[in-house]
Chain A
Amino acid sequence: MSVVGTLFEVTVTGIGLGAIYALVAIGFSLIYKVTGVLNFAQGQLALLGAYLVVVLSTPLLVALELPASAAIVATLVFGLLLGVFLERVVFRHFIGEPVLSVIIVTLALGGIITGMVRFLIGPQYRAYPEAIRPDWSLPLPFGVDLSASFTLGVALSLVVVVALMLFFRYTVIGSILRAGSSDQQAAMVLGVSIERTILLSWALSIAITSIGGLLFAMSAGGAGFTIEAVGVLIFAAVVFGGLDSIPGAFIGSIVVGLIQQLGAFYAEPVIGPGVGQVLPMVFLLVVILVKPYGLFGTERIERL
């Protein structure tokens, strides 16, 4: 393959990987935008989404001969329900408490999820059954084929970004979610139910995050604990894009995916293995120093 062809392939793979990160990152930004909580359990929630299919596959997905799309739908539904469950059982009790305590709770939650998956399913990598692995790929120029999971990642993350942007910009509920996040009390006296807005955002956030986890696992052929690392990588993405910006989370994730892939392919032979993993974190540090609100983050308006 030509030099250009290789560069193209690495770039496309980076974008595909970044798009999958984007789903996890959007889940993070959504919660931050609406509730002000930094969810440190994103990686673990993605992990849970990925392992769910392992649990379901043998009795349900394979037995009924359902395709990969069924796995995605099942994960989506599971994510919504998990979001509702966690909000009801955990996060609702922290409304009105300092945001910091909720952040600590998410750390604990992450630990609990990892432990439970380890305990219930086991610590090993679990390959997905052939039946629920999408077997097509998207042909691109230079003879490059983009695998189904990356293609799905790009498509789904684009859909989610556009849908959420339209939702926040043009619908009443979208305005209300943003209002509630900027001033809870002022929203409450207008009759906004803070509980409902928070419930809705957790459900959406965890559903999107789970899909991200599932696609990441599909791209690797199965679920493994390496997915947790996505939770750390997306920090670089959301900080670059601006913590509370949905399109920012998307673009930041694509950038992180590219840095990781290009770094892995071009820098690792020169510098050494693992550089691809390190570069996004170096990037994170630089971004925080240079542009603390990120590309699209809301800078606080201070009228003087």
Chain B
Amino acid sequence: MSDAESRSSTDDGDTPVVELDNAEIVYDRNFLAVQGVSMQASRGDIVALLGPNGAGKSTILKMISGIGRSERGEVTRGDVYYEGEKVTNFQCKEMVNRGVTHILEGRRVFPDLTVEENLRCGLYRQGRRIRYDKSDYDLAFEYFPQLEDLLDVQAGYTSGGEQQMLVVARALIHRPNLLLLDEPSLGLAPKLVKDIYETLREINREEDITMIIADQNAKRTLEIADYGYVLENGQIELNDPADVLVDREEIKEFYLGTSSEESRYSDIRHYKIRKRYT
């Protein structure tokens, strides 16, 4: 945490796109999901948010995008800043209007709508832009040319990989400034994961979209990320530039399985893997 603070102070006034300052997030007024998290994403960076199930990755994304408010989530301590503006506990629509787009976990396409209709929904925000034009999809087709042939297919009938492409494309034509991705690799074949991640990197570079990617696939995520945070039980355990983080012993042992074969969870004292709610 002190690391993050010193990082922001050495940034010489270059405000990060998003910053959490010692944030505590509580669901339903009594369920503590995240505590004392300080993190930030600098402009143009891809930030990896790693950690096991229930570590608080999704919760952090949800409180940045504001959708967590609709699940009775609340930042009870600390603050969230977006482009230097305090946005603690803002509603989802307020964050959307500021250019934050959240890709929710689990490839949430609208299954009854066609691929085109799904994309169309990305063109609309808060009353603006009611009319649409097929050329609006060009940006999506540039990165996901496969979608062009699927326009009239019902999204529910497309494959998992195509659905993941669709949700990213839909978010892309929404022209975000900050893109939050929750588990984009979930349940996809390794080859597809590789493709998606490479495309994300490309989008990040070409379109200048800052990204925070929460994923359990530490290896892939760190490959394309600039900076990484490892969460455990709602707290940040590690944070470093991605190339440093990927070489850390804890990461290697716990996520990448590249260390000695004898190592077990119990040997890694840093990670207190246990159920939190028992």
Residues of A bordering B, CB below 8 Å: 96, 171-173, 175-176, 178-179, 182-193, 196, 298, 301, 303
Contact = CB atoms under 8 A, between A and B. Distances in A.
Contact of B112 (A187, A188, A193, A301): A301
B113 A190 contact: no
Contact of A185 (B108, B122, B123, B160): B108
B117 A175 contact: yes
Contacts of B67: 185, 188-189
Nearest to B180: A189
B96 interface: yes
A179 to B, nearest CB: 4
Given A175-B120, A179-B113, A190-B124, 16 more contacts: A96-B70, A178-B117, A182-B110, A183-B110, A185-B108, A186-B108, A188-B93, A189-B92, A190-B170, A191-B96, A191-B97, A191-B125, A193-B127, A298-B112, A301-B154, A303-B160
B121 interface: yes
23 contacts: A171-B130, A172-B123, A172-B130, A173-B130, A175-B113, A178-B113, A178-B117, A179-B113, A185-B67, A185-B108, A187-B110, A188-B67, A188-B93, A189-B65, A189-B103, A190-B101, A190-B121, A190-B122, A190-B170, A191-B174, A193-B127, A196-B127, A301-B154
Contacts of A175: 113, 117, 120-121
A172 B130 CA distance: 6
Nearest to B102: A189
B157 interface: yes
A216 to B, nearest CB: 32
Contacts of B154: 301
B118 A179 contact: yes
Nearest to A182: B110
Contacts of A173: 130
A192 B97 CA distance: 11
A299 B129 CA distance: 31
B192 interface: no
**Which of B113, B117, B171, B174 has the most A CB atoms < 10 Å from its CB?**
B117
Given A172-B120, A190-B96, A190-B124, A183 B70 contact: no
A96 B101 CA distance: 21
**Which of B101, B122, B156 has the most A CB atoms < 10 Å from its CB?**
B156
Contacts of A183: 108, 110
B110 A178 contact: yes
Contact of A186 (B104, B112, B129, B132): B104
| Closest 4 pairs between A and B when the two form their complex, measured CB to CB | A191-B125, A301-B156, A191-B96, A186-B108
A187 B120 CA distance: 12
Nearest to B65: A189
B272 interface: no
B73 to A, nearest CB: 12
Nearest to B91: A188
Interface in B20-64: none
B133 to A, nearest CB: 11
B123 A179 contact: no
A298 B103 CA distance: 25
A183 B124 CA distance: 16
B104 A178 contact: no
B112 A182 contact: yes
Contacts of B132: 172
A244 B274 CA distance: 45
B110 A179 contact: yes
Nearest to A244: B112
A298 B157 CA distance: 14
